[in-house]
Amino acid sequence: MRVLLLLTIVLITFISTIHTAAMPYPNAAYSELNAKAKASIRKLADILDMEMMTRRLASPDNAYYHVYPQRVSFDDY
């Protein structure tokens, strides 16, 4: 009985190891996807930087001047 249980555990471990080893990690696909995601994030960061700079320049009371403003002006909303 113990031998059968041990053999079952060994076979399950072996089969699961073969199954995961048979699926190669597609480095090229993930690398391309990662590059596209980073480019999109950079574009979004540029857009947000321009938006914040525009708000800082347009704000009469320098509400957006500080990096971490203590209050947020909701006049635009």
Residue 50 covered by a domain: yes
pLDDT tens-digit readout, 15-64: 777 665 556 667 777 888 888 898 898 888 888 888 877 877 777 766 65
For residue 74, give the DSSP letter. Answer: -
Residue 11 covered by a domain: no
What is the average pLDDT across 62-71?
A: 56
Q: Which residue has the higher pLDDT, 75 or 48?
A: 48
Residue-range definition of the domain harbouring residue 60? 44-69
Collect all residues with Cβ–Cβ distance below 8 Å to 52 and sequence separation of at least 6. 64
Predicted pLDDT at 73: 55
Residue 20 covered by a domain: no
Number of structural domains (the chain) is 1
Q: Which residue has the higher pLDDT, 68 or 45?
A: 45
Residue type, 19: H
Residue 48 covered by a domain: yes
Residue 6 covered by a domain: no
Residue 57 covered by a domain: yes
Q: Which residue has the higher pLDDT, 65 or 25?
A: 25
